[in-house]
Copies of this chain bind each other. A is one copy, B any other.
Amino acid sequence: MPKEEFVNDWFRKRKERKSHLIAEEIYPSLIRGDRTALSSAITLVESTLQNDQSESKELIKKCLKSQNKSWRIGITGVPGVGKSTFIEAFGRIFLEKGLKLAVLAIDPSSNITGGSILGDKTRMEWLSQQKNAFIRPTATGKSLGGVARNTNEAIILCEAAGFDVILIETVGVGQSETLVHSMVDFFLLLMLAGAGDELQGIKRGIMEMADAIVITKADRGNEKMAEMAKVQYKNALHLFPVKESDWIPQVKTCSSIEELGITEIGEMIESFFIKTITSGWLNENRKNQEVNRLKEILDNSILFEFYKSEQIKTIFDFYKKEVSNGHLIAYQAVEDILNEIKKGKFNFL
């Protein structure tokens, strides 16, 4: 069969499939931990095709029945801090214990390429060859909040596939840190030991979210500078309010290349999970994260539906002009808009 004909045939067959078929096909292999099935499953939830979406919904529902027992760890840091090298070294300690590790990379800025899968495999060469490791960038969805949704669902799929540790890595800088923080149990901030201005590069809000700061590239000959930075960050962390988890954020140094300090970071994270699982915080926090997400997504959806209406567009544009021309102030314009909507018995959904 010539290639073009094959492709058309494949698409036709795909279209003809019943709604639950793919989900039902993938699920058994997925829960056995098959990496190809996991990969297809993530592709499925990332798809924007109508058919795929209903299948994806079925699949996620099935997967939710499997317990969330993984450790969800967020890793962030400015470009150049050595995230990939750190993840290679850090990931190894879990694999050596016989655990299964998934690395999900978020890059909201890569709208065009849709994630650099090949790039990722090269970045973490050793890890990508291990049978108990799974590396996957999250493609940026086309819909509102696409990246967030895709990553969130990818976490559930990885857990259903039996992955014990899930690292969520932010590749971009900026808003994605808050997003990642809302999805993980432990938030790790990688920092470089620099001269003087260390605190400038990273926003205070991001430092405040951190459960640990790890100073990378504390290679031989560089230990002194790293130690100095450690003291500085420790002092800075003292200024933040106590965390709800009762966990006291720690500062560590490491050399990913020389494999120094990596074991200590692993032990620290283990003690975090022991502490928060025992106290019940971990479970409580995951519930809260999901409820907060519900409110946030609902808010966005409501506003999206509202402004989508042609009726509202007309009214809003009129008042925008009024306000822009200084005939009304914003507060009064809003009152008038609400009154107009009430009069018109506007049905926004």
**Chain A interfacial positions (CB closer than 8 Å to B):** 57, 60-61, 64, 68, 149, 152-153, 156, 197, 199-200, 203-205, 236, 239, 287, 290-291, 293-294, 296-299, 301-303, 305-306, 316, 319-320, 323-324, 326-335, 337-338, 341-342, 345-349
Contacts and interface: CB of A to CB of B under 8 A. Distances in A.
B329 A156 contact: yes
A331 B64 contact: no
Contact of A294 (B323, B338, B341, B347): B323
Nearest to A67: B326
Contacts of A287: 324, 326
A173 to B, nearest CB: 13
A92 B299 CA distance: 47
B204 A326 contact: no
A219 to B, nearest CB: 26
A342 to B, nearest CB: 5
B200 A333 contact: no
A269 to B, nearest CB: 24
Contact of A297 (B197, B301, B334): B334
Contacts of A299: 303
Nearest to A339: B349
Q: Closest 3 interchain pairs by CB? A: A293-B330, A294-B330, A297-B334
A60 B328 CA distance: 9
B199 A331 contact: no
Contacts of A327: 64
A320 B290 CA distance: 9
Contacts of A298: 316, 334, 337
B294 A319 contact: yes
A283 B324 CA distance: 10
Contacts of A332: 57, 60-61
B305 A338 contact: yes
Nearest to A293: B330
A294 B334 contact: yes
Given A64-B326, A301-B334, 14 more contacts: A57-B335, A203-B203, A290-B324, A294-B334, A296-B330, A297-B330, A297-B331, A297-B334, A298-B337, A303-B303, A341-B349, A345-B347, A347-B347, A348-B348
Nearest to A283: B326
Nearest to A332: B57
A153 B64 contact: no
Contacts of A331: 149, 152-153, 293, 297
A342 B349 contact: yes
Contacts of A199: 197, 199-200
14 contacts: A61-B332, A152-B329, A152-B331, A153-B331, A199-B200, A200-B239, A290-B330, A294-B330, A294-B333, A298-B334, A298-B337, A341-B349, A342-B349, A346-B349
A287 to B, nearest CB: 5
Contacts of A239: 200
A134 to B, nearest CB: 20
Nearest to A204: B203
